[in-house]
Amino acid sequence: MMFIIGVIAVILVTIGLVKLIDKFIPSKLRPVLMLVLWIGIFALGYLTFMSIYNPILFNQEKEKRYAEVIKSLEDIREAQLAHKTVTGKFEGNWDNLVKFIDTAEFTLTQRRDSSIIDKEANKRFGLTTMTKDVVIIDTLGTRSVKDSIFKNSDRYKTMMNVPVGEAGAKFKLQAGYLEQNDINIPVFEASVKKDIILFDQPKELVMQENQVLSVEAVNGDEIKVGSMDEIKTIGNWPKTYGTKKD
């Protein structure tokens, strides 16, 4: 729509200038002025077109890169959640997290309801037949964390690398605890700045992207999963990116 408005504006300006030349400029000078006019119109049209088309290209490239980054962040989240399941905490070191995926195992269990003699109740009431319900957890065996999450893929070995944008960039990884109701709760955060993802894109468009605030966009100047300030393991991207879980 903006492009159409721009084209209409250029056409109207052109018509106005042609009429002015025809009315006030001597016939001998008209060819030269018309040539200059058409060159100016072409340049103005090109600038108008690019001012609209560049943001379109930027958004297409941005969406493509963000989708790749989010895939990696989802892998990191899966690895961290597995680490917490097995160890009770998150990991803040990449080498340790990769080693954990390589070697750790989940304990496979089965929950079943049962009933047993309630000795205390029987003693209290002088009976022998009173029972109580209990939950029994049976250990069935173990399964590799690597096979459970990544199956036949070894992409976890490079999940710390930002897959697009500035070469050699890595996600920032943090882990620790937040106190809530006198309880230390494990938290983690993996993040990367948008400046790194979009390092080769127009600077003014990247600056605008860093300030974006919208329910349909990645808000702020970074893409991240988890938080060191809140107890959450979700990412800061909208559902339009097709995340595997919230």
- Dihedral (CA of 210, 211, 217, 219) sign: positive
Question: Which of 11-15, 123-127, 149-153, 169-173 has the weakest average pLDDT?
Answer: 11-15
* Mean pLDDT score, 84-111: 87
| In the predicted structure, residue 163 carries a pLDDT above the cut 80 | yes
Nearest to 66 by CA among 157, 158, 165, 155: 165
Q: pLDDT for 3-35, tens place per residue?
A: 556 566 666 666 676 666 666 666 676 676 667
Chain centroid to CA 129: 59
Q: Using CA atoms, how far apart are residues 197 and 171, in angstroms rounded to an integer?
A: 11
Q: pLDDT for 185-213, tens place per residue?
A: 999 999 999 999 999 999 999 999 999 88
What is the reported pLDDT for 174?
98
The CA distances from residue 218 to 189, 202, 210, in Å, are: 16, 18, 9
**Domain positions in the chain:** 2-54, 71-103+154-241
- H helix intervals, 88-136: 94-103, 119-125
Type of residue numbered 155: R
Model confidence pTM above 0.75: no
* Mean pLDDT score, 50-66: 87
Which of the four pLDDT bands, split at 50, 70 and 90, describes residue 244? low
* Mean pLDDT score, 49-78: 90
- H helix intervals, 107-171: 119-125, 145-149
Which of the four pLDDT bands, split at 50, 70 and 90, describes residue 116? confident
- φ, ψ for residue 4 (rounded to 5)? -60, -45
Best mean pLDDT range from 43-47, 88-92, 137-141: 88-92
What is the reported pLDDT for 80?
97
What is the reported pLDDT for 4?
57
Which of the four pLDDT bands, split at 50, 70 and 90, describes residue 246? very low
Do 143 and 60 meet the contact criterion of CB atoms below 8 Å apart? no
Which two structure tokens, joined as six digits, stand for 235? 């990412």
